[in-house]
Structure formats: structure tokens, C-alpha cells
Amino acid sequence: MAAAAATAAAKGNGGGGGRAGAGDASGTRKKKGPGPLATAYLVIYNVVMTAGWLVIAVGLVRAYLAKGSYHSLYYSIEKPLKFFQTGALLEVGIVPSSVVLTSFQVMSRVFLIWAVTHSVKEVQTEDSVLLFVIAWTITEIIRYSFYTFSLLNHLPYLIKWARYTLFIVLYPMGVSGELLTIYAALPFVRQAGLYSISLPNKYNFSFDYYAFLILIMISYIPLFPQLYFHMIHQRRKVLSHTEEHKKFE
């Protein structure tokens, strides 16, 4: 859930796609760059992740062409989506950004995949799932390509421009899909009592997963504008710097 990381991201993340990634050099302070072995690992990781999200993109297109409809395309890419989105957990501890920030941002998406979409089977046919899957897929292909070329010191301007421009449409699209999916899951969560713990019990503890999901949805209201405008600011700073650099070449 992209909006969940807004406050932390606005403090230190370089923006563009909403969260840090392997090889991101957008922090306010940059110490030494990674050594040769670390760089090789990061390049391989980012290439694999780029390829993985391309597989998801191709899977969506092939399923659409085969079915002639965009409904229920989730099932055609469910396994690779779960694998590569969960695989982003490997970024924790290897990126220049805060471990806490990276963990929080990665886990928010993993939560949506496993604790909402996977756990509530009824929402998997919702068009809102396709909405956030498409937004994530395009964003991640661009993001991991950006990190790969950056690590190789050969970043095409087109990728840089896409990284800091397409979020203008993709981020609201992804957030809308996330919110609508959580909303669609609420009746089924309440009916089944999914992941809820009621009293009395030996731990003297209760948890209402239905209320928890509502709180998550409410958190988007103050957090989404904060992150979105932070990303707009980052776009102006990065792309204007690029244009100035070109003038002096």
C-alpha cells in the first residue's frame, strides 16, 4: 500500500515510484558507493526483478488477448506476482535508505498481496485488483531498470524521465486499486471473522481485522497527498537539474 509509507518517504526517500530500491542513490547523504561484489549483486538483483515484472506484464497481455476481456486477469499472473513482490523483501538491508523505511514500504505491498488479495478469494475477480497490478507492474519495470542502468553508470534519459514522470498517473491509479480492493474485502472479512480474535481467550487479547482494514483505508487520506506532492517536488528537482546539465555540455 503505497500511501502507507508517505511520512517516512517524505523525510528521506528520493521519490519517483514511492519507495526505495536496490541501488537507489536518492538519499540526502551518500557515503561510499557499494564495492565491486556488492555492485554485481545489486545489478543481478535488479535485472532479475526487471525480468520478473516483464514476465508479469507479458502474462497480462497474453491473457487479455486469449480471453478478449480484462476481467479476472489476476489468475494469469498470480504466482509470479506473489513471487516477485514478496522477493522485494531481499531489498531490506541492502539499499542505502533506512532499513525501517524500506521494511515498512515493502511489507505494505506484501500485506496487500497476501493478507487481503490472497486471503479473501472473493476479491480476486475485482477489477480494482487489475488496477493496482497494472500500476505496480509498469512502475516496477521502470524502477528496476532505473536502478540497473544507474549502477552501470549508463542511465538513458528516457528511463529517468519515465521514473520521475509516469508516477503522476500510476500512483493515483495504484492507490485507487488498493483502496477499492480493501473496500471490496470488508464484507467478506466481517462475515468470516478473518484474522480476528475475540474475547474471552487465554491471552486476554482481542483484535478486529475488519476495523484494522478500515483504519488502513483512513490512513490514506492524510498520507497520499503528502507523498504525492513530495514526488512532484523530486521530479522538478531531478529533471530540472538534468536539463541544466545538458545546457553546459
User: Could you confirm whether 64 is annotated as catalytic?
Assistant: no
152-156 own/partner pairs: CB under 8 Å, 24+ apart: 152/43
Our CA dihedral for 51, 53, 58, 62, rounded to 10 degrees, sits at 140
- Torsion sign across C-alpha atoms 205, 211, 217, 221: negative
User: Could you confirm whether 171 is annotated as catalytic?
Assistant: yes
What span, in angstroms and rounded, lies between the C-alpha atoms of 94 and 138? 23
* Contact predicate 160/146, CB 8 Å: yes
* Contact predicate 183/195, CB 8 Å: no
188 CB-contact burial (10 Å; exposed 0-12 / middle 13-18 / buried 19+): middle
User: Which of 124, 129, 120 lies closest to 174 in space, CA to CA?
Assistant: 129
Residue tagged active-site, from 144, 147, 171, 210: 171
Residue tagged active-site, from 178, 209, 210, 228: 178
Exposure letters 120-146 (e unless 16+ CB within 10 A, then b): beebeebebbbbbbbbbbbbbbbbbbb
Active-site positions read 171, 178
